[in-house]
Amino acid sequence: ARDRSATAAPATVSTAECEPLPQSAVEVLISDTAKRRDLDPDLLRGVVRQESSFRPCAVSPKGALGLMQLMPATAAQLGVKDPFDPRENLDAGAKLLKQLMSMYEDLPLALGAYNAGPGKVNAAEGVPKIPETLNYVQKILSVLPVPW
């Protein structure tokens, strides 16, 4: 996994001229990707909702791109050719999330690392006390069946 500590996607994204994907398309993409990456579809859906509100052309002020708000360097490391292609972006983001889950063996820490970067999670020895990151983790966990 890579360190997003200096490049975490912010809570706000540009949505100009970018409509959310239709729910039917989102569900097919999430279902297929969750199966391929061995992830809970509710988890993947929660991350996409927090990252981009299902907008495939979302761009954050810090430059994070697409459904899973991949930073350009991360997208390149994951072999993404078109970060605005919903399937490609979702698959790469799911791969990254799965790597973080394997690394931390703890869902809140993996989500914290997806948002703030592994460097900040490691330095904090837990979910960083960054309001955006705490909110991000809480919102995603709140839509999952317990126990996650």
Give the tens place of pLDDT for each residue, 55-97.
999 999 999 999 999 999 999 999 999 999 999 999 999 999 9
The one-character DSSP state at 127 is: S
Say what percent of the chain tops pLDDT 70: 88
**pLDDT at residue 145, as a whole number:** 87
Distances 5 to 98, 119, 121 between C-alpha atoms, Å: 18, 5, 8
Residue 66, CA atoms < 13 Å, CB-side half-sphere:
21
Q: Is 79 helix (H, G, I), strand (E, B) or coil?
A: coil
More confident call, 6 vs 130: 130
Q: Which helix (H) or strand (E) holds 2?
A: none
> Which residues carry out catalysis?
51
Rounded to whole angstroms, how far apart are CA atoms 80 and 19? 22
**pLDDT at residue 99, as a whole number:** 98
* Mean pLDDT within 13-30: 84
